[in-house]
Amino acid sequence: MTASDMDGRLGEEFFTPGTASFTDFLAAHRPELLPTRRPFPDGVRAEPGRFPHGTTVLALAYRDGVLIAGDRRATMGNLIAQRDLEKVHPADDHTAVAFAGSVGLALDMVKLYQVELTHFEKIEGIPMTLNAKARRLAGMIRQNLGQAMQGLAVVPLLTGYDGAAPDGEKGRIFSFDVAGGLYEKTDFHAEGSGSPYARGALKKLFHKGMDRREAALAALQALYDAADDDSATGGPDINRRIYPIVSVITEEGFERLSEPETEALSREMVEQRRSRPDGPTAAP
């Protein structure tokens, strides 16, 4: 502890010129606080099934913006580690991030990313563009490559409302790989172990110009299909009243659908499955 820490004064590092990146600031002055630091010596890998792992998240563009959703289950190997995990978080007023992968690292990365965007806006006086937000998150994931190679990967899904985009294209979706590769997706996407089944459902149900209710039901149907075929994905738990998290981002900003609304839509979807277990067919 330095003298400035003891008497409440800011240390010299706070007056050292640098970038508007809070992550770069930590890397230069307090690297031990970064969630991307390696937890194990080189050559050591995390034992499979010993750390909570989150699945399945998805996003789809709709008429007013973009919707992002996730199931609530975390697993450790063949065990259910948590039934009510929150995998969808606002990053700022018009951006949201969801994650699949190592839960502890993912939650820390989300918090750091939230601070990163706020810090940039305070330093520069303007918010980042959506493209810059995606590139900044890609850089953070790239810093985590060492941990990913040790078996502790984080795979986020980023969505945002881009007011500068043409009408009909303002809801944007970005995916990443564990090395920080950045890919913009059109219309919809999903990540996590249940993502192949969720994407298959969305491919069947998605259409241009969906309203909020249609988009939310399509997301719930896709998560239900993922849970039906992937044991690591949790469907709506009506007995415990645990339902997927569904959020939207529009011109007005980020909004998480209320618990009563999500419950009503989930119950409606489950009731539809009683007469059609395989789910709705594609629109003609």
Residue 249 has φ and ψ, to the nearest 5°, of -130, 120
- How many Cα neighbours within 13 Å face the side chain of 44? 5
Residue 55 falls in the annotated catalytic set: yes
DSSP per residue over 146-170, as a string? HHHHTT--EEEEEEEE-TTSPTT--
CB 261 within 8 A of CB 237: no
Helix (H, G, I), strand (E, B) or coil at 284: coil
Catalytic residue among 55, 56, 250, 262: 55
- How many Cα neighbours within 13 Å face the side chain of 192? 38
DSSP per residue over 74-141, as a string? EEETTEEEESS---EEEEETTEEEEEEEEHHHHHHHHHHHHHHHHHHHHHHSSPPPHHHHHHHHHHHH
Residue 235 DSSP one-character state: -
Active-site annotation, residues: 55
